[in-house]
Amino acid sequence: MGVATFLVAVLVGILLLSASASWPPTPGPRIGGGHKISQATVNPPVPGEDKTYWREEAQETLRRQLNLTNTVRKAKNIIFFLGDGMGVGTITAARILKGSQTGRWERESLSWEDFPHSAHIKTYNTNSQVVDSASSATAFLCGVKGNLWTVGVDANVLQVNCTDALNETFHTDSIAKWFQDAGRSAGFVTTTRVTHATPAGAYAHSANRGWEDDAIMVKTGQDPDVCDDIAEQLILKDPGNKFKVIMGGGRQRLLPQSVIDVEEGVGGYRLDGKDLISMWKSDKDSKGVSSAYVWNREDLLALDTANTDYLLGLFAYSHMDYLLDRKPKMDPSLPEMTKAAIEVLRRDENGYFLMVEGGRIDQAHHENKARKALTETLEFDEAVQMALAMTDPLDTLIIVTVDHAQPLTINGYPNRHNDILGVGDVSGVDNIPYTALLYGNGPGYDVTEEGKRPDPSKLNLTDSNYRQTAAIPQSSSYHSGEDVGLWVTGPHSHLFTGVYEQNYIAHALAYAACVGEGLTFCDERKSNGTEGREP
């Protein structure tokens, strides 16, 4: 075709495009202040954000980036923060919620967002594109991907029956055990039951994450005399019985039916008559080490942590309460538990591995209750700040990552400084407002009698139990499969600068700390581990 014909064709194309209503897409009616629906289409910009502002802001970031150096010493300690279900949407939303409180709004940072290195993590496992917390824990703690719902075992073990998981050739050991094998300490803190999927990845080998006690095994046709339940593995088996710190909820799984729980007023779940809490205490007494069992906040805060070798804290019958439902007098916060854990573990001169899980971010999302999920995320942020304040970046690697995402998205074109938990925009099709946060699936699915979407501007969005709308009904949301984030600071943080498989995490951490298979690499380092070949 000649140049003239070509130009005519382009011109016609442009005319057709501009005549068409479908491209570029015109945004629907916009929300004015106070969530009043208006046809205003122009949002005023935030004052002061002209080109001078953006150039200076970027130049400052650049100066900080150019000043970065790699720390190539051996990591004496590793603190592993795991935000369960804390996908990228959750993080952006939590950042804006935090910013609404500080006045920095969208410019706010969560504590880990200032870390020098970060990565994207591919979470799929050996039989599923979308993972659960058990199989992902096997990946990031043991360095091996396995099947959905299994924990501490490789792909040879299907979630069928327990005998598959008895074969030790299929077992995967965790970085917590590698630390212990290297003569160092390990422990964990969670807001879920201590027998729940994520912590189980540090100590258990089970074909089913659900087998937290023997009663549930019997109920599901398993023989608890053949395979140990997860609570029993935690208290009686290696490496769980050597953990210096175990804190979270879940007394129901450790107590027999004959022992009445101190808060709940009912017996535990166990059929085998074992009181694993007193067995834990007598095991430590028999070893002549100092130990403490605490079940409420007051006792934890009063504890002489500097003289405690082993600490078991069980603060709830099941999971600990959500922050928004918590009885502050009875239940410690996640930062308080993190502080106590570090105080106990740092008594080991050789170093320690501590996992801290914000376990209920995920559970609030399962209920499609975004306000609860975001406030759990902000408490998790405070726990990270606590660890940063208590440790030295020259000897302590702090990592923050996520097991899997939840199907939460930020929708529409909300104005700057819009309440992230409020209405964000209005549909241009049905003219009904929608919240800025929406779920792909879950119990938030709802239709009115007229077959329409409920109008959230008429509902109480400040109620902590408000469920954001979900596209597909599920009684509890199913997870989502997009990549998750990883942020890291301290020795060897530069090992994380790209897109990685989730099981790489355990291997890189082992290298940084000279434990497990990382020992082989560390032997090759020029000196005694304080210097490396990098960069």
Ligand X SMILES: *[C@@H]1O[C@H](CO)[C@@H](O)[C@H](O)[C@H]1NC(C)=O
- Residue numbering of the annotated binding site for Mg(2+): 84, 196, 198, 357
Neighbouring CB atoms inside 10 A of 470's CB total 20
Annotate 228-264 with b (16+ C-beta within 10 A) or e (fewer).
Answer: bbbbbbbbeeebbbbbbbbbbbbbbbbbbeebebeee
Interatomic CA distance for residues 117 and 496, integer angstroms: 6
Residue nearer to ligand X on the CB measure, 304 or 533: 533
Q: Tell me the closest approach of the beta carbon of residue 363 to Zn ion, in angstroms.
A: 7
Q: Tell me the closest approach of the beta carbon of residue 418 to ligand X, in angstroms.
A: 19
Give me the phi and psi of 270, to 5 degrees please: -70, 140
Q: Is 506 left (phi over 0), alpha (psi -120 to 50) or beta?
A: alpha
Residue nearer to Zn ion on the CB measure, 212 or 362: 362
The DSSP annotation for 49-100 comes to -SHHHHHHHHHHHHHHHHT-----S--SEEEEEEETT--HHHHHHHHHHHHH
Picked from ligand X, Zn ion, none, the partner binding residue 462 (CB below 5 to 8 A depending on kind) is ligand X
Residue nearer to ligand X on the CB measure, 168 or 450: 168
CB of 348 within 8 A of CB of 333? Answer: no
CA dihedral 472, 30, 103, 371 (to 10 degrees): -20
Q: Tell me the closest approach of the beta carbon of residue 189 to ligand X, in angstroms.
A: 28
Q: Tell me the closest approach of the beta carbon of residue 440 to Zn ion, in angstroms.
A: 14
Residue nearer to ligand X on the CB measure, 77 or 480: 77
Please count the CA atoms within 13 angstroms of the CA of 457 that sit on its side-chain side. Answer: 16
Q: What does the block give as tokens for 267?
A: 């017996």
Interatomic CA distance for residues 119 and 404, integer angstroms: 14
Q: What is the DSSP letter of 320?
A: P
The contact set with ligand X (CB under 6 A) reads 63-64, 67, 161, 163-164, 167, 169, 221, 460, 462-463, 527-528, 530
Residue positions in the annotated binding site for Zn(2+)?
84, 362, 366, 403-404, 479
Q: Is 87 left (phi over 0), alpha (psi -120 to 50) or beta?
A: beta
Picked from Zn ion, ligand X, none, the partner binding residue 169 (CB below 5 to 8 A depending on kind) is ligand X
Picked from ligand X, Zn ion, none, the partner binding residue 63 (CB below 5 to 8 A depending on kind) is ligand X
Give me the phi and psi of 441, to 5 degrees please: -155, 165
Residue nearer to Zn ion on the CB measure, 194 or 311: 194
Annotate 49-83 with b (16+ C-beta within 10 A) or e (fewer).
Answer: eeeeeeeeeeeeeeeeeeeeeebbbbbbbbbbbbb
Picked from ligand X, Zn ion, none, the partner binding residue 167 (CB below 5 to 8 A depending on kind) is ligand X
The contact set with Zn ion (CB under 5 A) reads 362
Q: Tell me the closest approach of the beta carbon of residue 163 to ligand X, in angstroms.
A: 5
Q: Which residues are catalytic?
A: 133
Listed residue (529, 486, 525, 492) closest to 508, CA to CA = 492
Residue nearer to Zn ion on the CB measure, 132 or 214: 132
Picked from Zn ion, ligand X, none, the partner binding residue 55 (CB below 5 to 8 A depending on kind) is none
Q: Tell me the closest approach of the beta carbon of residue 233 to ligand X, in angstroms.
A: 18
Picked from ligand X, Zn ion, none, the partner binding residue 362 (CB below 5 to 8 A depending on kind) is Zn ion
Q: List for the chain the helix, strand, coil content (%; round to 5).
A: 35, 15, 45
Residue positions in the annotated binding site?
84, 196, 198, 357, 362, 366, 403-404, 479
